[in-house]
Amino acid sequence: MPKASFSMTRSRKAYEDARAVFPGGVNSPVRSWRSVGLIESGPFFVLRGKGPYLIDLDGNRYVDFVGSWGPQILGHCPGPVVAAIKKQAARGASFGCPTDLETRLARKLQKVMPAMEMLRFVSSGSEATSHAIRVARGFTGREKILKFEGCYHGAHDAVLVKAGSGAATFGVPDSAGVPAAVAANTLTVPFNDLDAVRAALNANKQEVAALIVEPVVGNSGTLIPEPGFLEGLGLAAKAAGALLIFDEVMTGFRLAPGGAQEKYGIRPDLVTCGKILGGGLPCGAYGGRKEIMQQVAPLGPVYQAGTLSGNPLAMAAGLATLEILLKKENYKKLEETSAQIEALLWEGAEAAGKKPKLSINRVGSMFTVFFRTGPVRNFADASGSDTAAFGRFFQSLLRNGVYFPPSQYEAAFVNLAMGPKELKIVGKAARAAFAEV
């Protein structure tokens, strides 16, 4: 049963204040909780994080399955990361000059993602994909790109076409304000459909600069690549003279030290990273084959720049995070904890007689609960699930101390700080939530 003391009075007041200054009271749409039916009451406002928990302004504690949308894979406030940020802050937050912190983090990145023969740091995943697409266009001399319905690669025009995450949540897959001329250069096909990929490439011979894909999709909810799909993408791209971009902003360092590239044994032409890379501070990166990256200014004709690119605080946080994270035993622990959580969800659903109308897509420590009979192979399947039930599920979990992503089109994330105590909370909350949906 929900805690008797569960109240969000202080968050509600903070939300009222925030609505006066931010569109929807938030600085990123999916944080508004509109897609899980909490339009008037709004989201909680966080006071602090602590290990596997978030604590809100009213003192409510939640097992955190969002983890800042991926970055907090160690849990909140990991000691060595906090210490590294403090130490660097005392030396200076930003210089706009090179530091060897950048080179050190880049070397760590290349060790697990050898496809990134040369790379550039930026300050977000959106920047990373935006510049990777520009480099692909500059290198190939072609203008079109191919993406997958429901995949989200950041909030920039070229990819806000049939996008996922918040764009899908708000039912505006083609965002207002994206010029038709830009959208016309973005081809979209269903995930897991190689025939559609080949058909699109054939219909646009010599015109497609790159295919960009979330190798495991998180922004339609979790979608799992079917055997041969990712390999097939690489072959199709090569045959078409197009580049393959793996958008590993979410999957990088999460599915394995080397992300999906390592897990599925694929070497893309370009890779984008973000989230975990900065250990919770603003950071992204794009990189790939040296001959492609040598097109980037000041070496080549493709321009890209950024005041805070390679920011020392973000570099320090990223170095400290990867120093702890990139050990095989951590991925074993993440898999074990995630499998236990999935089992608890199935048990809760079984107890409430909800198993037949439930699908759970999970890869390692990212997963999504869909209220529909499976399989959920692509965005069309995902958008056919009972999103109202998902909203009720979210709200029940919340009242019982578990914070799931506030949208059907997001992935839930397990972190290394979760243990037996949190599993107990999740088991109890899941039983209550499935009984209520």
- Shortest spacing between CB 176 and ligand KE4, in angstroms: 17
Q: Kindly state the tokens that stand for 19.
A: 């609505």
Neighbours of 108 (CB within 10 A): 18
Q: Kindly state the tokens that stand for 44.
A: 């909680």
Q: Which one of residues 14, 30, 293, 363 is an interface residue with ligand KE4 (CB under 6 A)? A: 30
* Per CB under 6 A, 126 contacts ligand KE4: yes
Q: Which stretch binds ligand KE4 (CB under 6 A): 93-101, 212-220, 237-245, 253-261?
A: 212-220
* Per CB under 6 A, 215 contacts ligand KE4: no
Q: Which one of residues 64, 269, 381, 410 is an interface residue with ligand KE4 (CB under 6 A)? A: 410
- If the CB atoms of residues 142 and 147 are measured against ligand KE4, the closer one turns out to be 147
Q: Which one of residues 7, 28, 41, 94 is an interface residue with ligand KE4 (CB under 6 A)? A: 28
Q: Kindly state the tokens that stand for 245.
A: 């971009």
| 209 and 133 Cβ atoms separated by less than 8 Å | yes
Q: Which stretch binds ligand KE4 (CB under 6 A): 121-129, 287-295, 365-373, 390-398?
A: 121-129
Q: For the residues of 48-82, what is the DSSP string, one character each?
A: EEEBTEEEETT--EEEESSGGGTT-TT-BS-HHHH
- Shortest spacing between CB 6 and ligand KE4, in angstroms: 25
Q: Which one of residues 218, 225, 257, 258 is an interface residue with ligand KE4 (CB under 6 A)? A: 218
Neighbours of 59 (CB within 10 A): 10
Site residues for ligand KE4, window 260-279 (CB under 6 A)?
Answer: 274
CA angle 28, 30, 34 (to 5 degrees): 120
CA angle 158, 261, 111 (to 5 degrees): 110
Q: Which stretch binds ligand KE4 (CB under 6 A): 13-21, 152-160, 333-341, 368-376?
A: 152-160
Neighbours of 3 (CB within 10 A): 11
With CB under 6 A as the rule, give the number of residues binding ligand KE4.
Answer: 20
Q: Kindly state the tokens that stand for 301.
A: 């004709």
Helix, strand, coil content of the chain in percent (nearest 5)? 45, 15, 40
| 199 and 193 Cβ atoms separated by less than 8 Å | no
* Per CB under 6 A, 72 contacts ligand KE4: no
Give the residues across from 368 on adjacent strands: 361
- If the CB atoms of residues 250 and 430 are measured against ligand KE4, the closer one turns out to be 250
Q: Which one of residues 11, 60, 130, 165 is an interface residue with ligand KE4 (CB under 6 A)? A: 165
Neighbours of 13 (CB within 10 A): 13
* Per CB under 6 A, 153 contacts ligand KE4: yes
Q: Kindly state the tokens that stand for 116.
A: 């990134």
* Per CB under 6 A, 124 contacts ligand KE4: yes
In whole angstroms, give the CA distance from residue 435 to residue 437: 6
Tell me which H or E stretch contains 112: helix 100-112
By CB atoms closer than 10 A (0-12, 13-18, 19+), residue 359 is middle
* Per CB under 6 A, 219 contacts ligand KE4: yes
The residue whose Cβ lies closest to ligand KE4 is 125
Q: Which stretch binds ligand KE4 (CB under 6 A): 148-156, 193-201, 326-334, 426-434?
A: 148-156
CA angle 177, 25, 62 (to 5 degrees): 120
| 64 and 415 Cβ atoms separated by less than 8 Å | yes
Q: Which stretch binds ligand KE4 (CB under 6 A): 134-142, 242-250, 310-318, 428-436?
A: 242-250
Catalytic residue ranges: 152, 247, 275
In whole angstroms, give the CA distance from residue 247 to residue 126: 10
* Per CB under 6 A, 379 contacts ligand KE4: no
- If the CB atoms of residues 126 and 385 are measured against ligand KE4, the closer one turns out to be 126
* Per CB under 6 A, 225 contacts ligand KE4: no
- If the CB atoms of residues 129 and 408 are measured against ligand KE4, the closer one turns out to be 129
* Per CB under 6 A, 154 contacts ligand KE4: yes
* Per CB under 6 A, 58 contacts ligand KE4: no
- If the CB atoms of residues 308 and 344 are measured against ligand KE4, the closer one turns out to be 308
Cβ-Cβ contacts under 8 Å for 80 (sequence gap 6 or more) = 320, 323, 324
- Shortest spacing between CB 249 and ligand KE4, in angstroms: 4
* Per CB under 6 A, 162 contacts ligand KE4: no
Q: State the residues that interact with ligand KE4 by CB under 6 A.
A: 28, 30, 69, 124-126, 129, 152-154, 165-166, 214, 218-219, 247, 249-250, 274, 410
